Amino acid sequence: MGKALRTQKHRSMVQTVLEYLKTGKSITALEAVEIWGELNLRNKISELRRQGWQIHSDEMPSDKGGKFKKYYLNMQNQRGEHNE
């Protein structure tokens, strides 16, 4: 896959994650894999934060003793100053 195609796919998935979070839902890495087949949610969240979106996360305990993050968008504090 060429770099331009990877970049386009990355941007598309970043937008997909943003639209999902805008509905008020939260997302975990496992859910991103199950819903979209996305293996690198953290990268997409980082990109959204660089764009100015206030993405928050809560660390949650897993059933197997580990931890995972649940990401959500703080809609109350969004000012519309984003580079979409």
- The whole-angstrom separation of Cα 2 and Cα 10 is 12
Neighbours of 43 (CB within 10 A): 12
Model confidence over 3-23: pLDDT tens digits? 665 577 778 999 999 999 999
Model confidence over 23-48: pLDDT tens digits? 999 999 999 999 999 999 999 999 99
Residue scoring higher pLDDT (24 or 1): 24
Q: Give residues with Cβ within 8 angstroms of 15, minimum separation 6.
A: 84
Neighbours of 51 (CB within 10 A): 14
Q: What is the pLDDT of residue 84?
A: 46
CATH class of 3-77: mainly alpha
> Does the pLDDT value for residue 1 go beyond 80?
no
CB 75 within 8 A of CB 54: no
Domain boundaries, the chain: 3-77
Q: How many CA atoms lie within 13 A of 78 on its CB side?
A: 19
